[in-house]
Amino acid sequence: MGNQKQNEKYDKNSDLIIEFLALFNKIDKHFDKLLWIDNFIPFNEKIKRIAKGNYPISWFVKLNQYQIKHFGEIRNELTHWIKMDWYSYVYPSDYAMSKLKKYVDIIKKPFRCIDIFKKPVFTCNEDDQLKKILKIMDKNNYSHVPVYDKDEKYIWLLAESKVLAWLTEGESSKDMNSTKVWDVPLISDLGYVLFLDKNCNVYEIDKLFALKKQKSKKLGVILITENGNKDDKILWVITAGDTALIDAYVVR
């Protein structure tokens, strides 16, 4: 009976190790594919190159490089174990397996903006009545609205903060019935507004907001289009206020 239980435990541990190595191999092979590697490079060197590079998962790897390195250390121990007649002091826990599976999913297919941001985009024209646009912004909690010209080309960005500052400046009151969108200060700063293509993922978005913050600068809005071009139709508007939603999908 004792030998039977021991054998069952041994079989279970063997299955866990085989599953762990198979999952880890998916990460290792994906790194090779990203780096165009066809010869041997240490796993930690792959992590370093991807974290410093500009790959879709670079920010994820940078944020989680120590955990990923630890998976590599476990892999090394387990492969040595195979060489020693399947004997090891290390066995992957259920938590380690769950974490590794999650990392595999993120590395191979990180959440894209198209999977997360579903809020319809509201735009306006430069000759629209400002009062009308502000009512829509207030009702739908829009902080930024893309502005188009008469040729239906994006030109600037209307920001709630800019409008409030404009309304309170000067001593004379503003005639809101005759005020057009083009009468208020619009944002044209390319550092405050960025364009990205629809296949960008949450880690790329998180990286942009984080790096701007580290440099004591502000990234206010990311405009998502088909190919990241300014002249493409705007599909989604992502603002600094959406960082809470992004954080819900980012593993740190």
- CATH assignment, 115-247: 3.10.580.10
**Cα–Cα distance measured from residue 121 to residue 190, given in angstroms and rounded to the nearest whole number:** 20
The phi-psi region of residue 201 (left if phi > 0; otherwise alpha if psi is between -120 and 50; otherwise beta) is beta
% of the chain at pLDDT higher than 90: 54
SS (H, E, C) the chain: CHHHHHHHHHHHHHHHHHHHHHHHHHHHHHHHHHHCCCCCCCHHHHHHHHHHCCCCCHHHHHHCHHHHHHHHHHHHHHHHHHHCCCCCCCCCCHHHHHHHHHHHHHHHCCCEHHHHCCCCCCCEECCCEHHHHHHHHHHHCCCEEEEECCCCCEEEEEEHHHHHHHHHCCCCCCCCCCCEHHHCCCECCCCCEEEEECCCEHHHHHHHHHHHHHCCCCCCEEEEECECCCCCCEEEEEEHHHHHHHHCCCCC
Choice between 155 and 10, residue whose per-residue pLDDT is larger: 155
pLDDT at res. 6: 47
pLDDT at 86 over 90: no
Least confident piece of the model among 35-39, 46-50, 165-169: 165-169
pLDDT at res. 29: 96
Where residue 7 falls among pLDDT bands split at 50, 70, 90?
very low
Choice between 132 and 8, residue whose per-residue pLDDT is larger: 132
Reported as a single tens digit per residue, the pLDDT across 186-208 is: 888 777 899 999 999 999 999 99
pLDDT at res. 188: 81
Mean per-residue pLDDT for 152-162?
A: 91
**Cα–Cα distance measured from residue 47 to residue 19, given in angstroms and rounded to the nearest whole number:** 22
Choice between 213 and 203, residue whose per-residue pLDDT is larger: 203
Sheet holding 234-239, edge to edge: 193-197, 221-225, 234-239
pLDDT at res. 172: 61
**Pseudo-torsion of CA 218, 221, 225, 230, nearest 10°?**
-70
Residues of the chain within CATH 3.10.580.10 domain(s) are 115-247
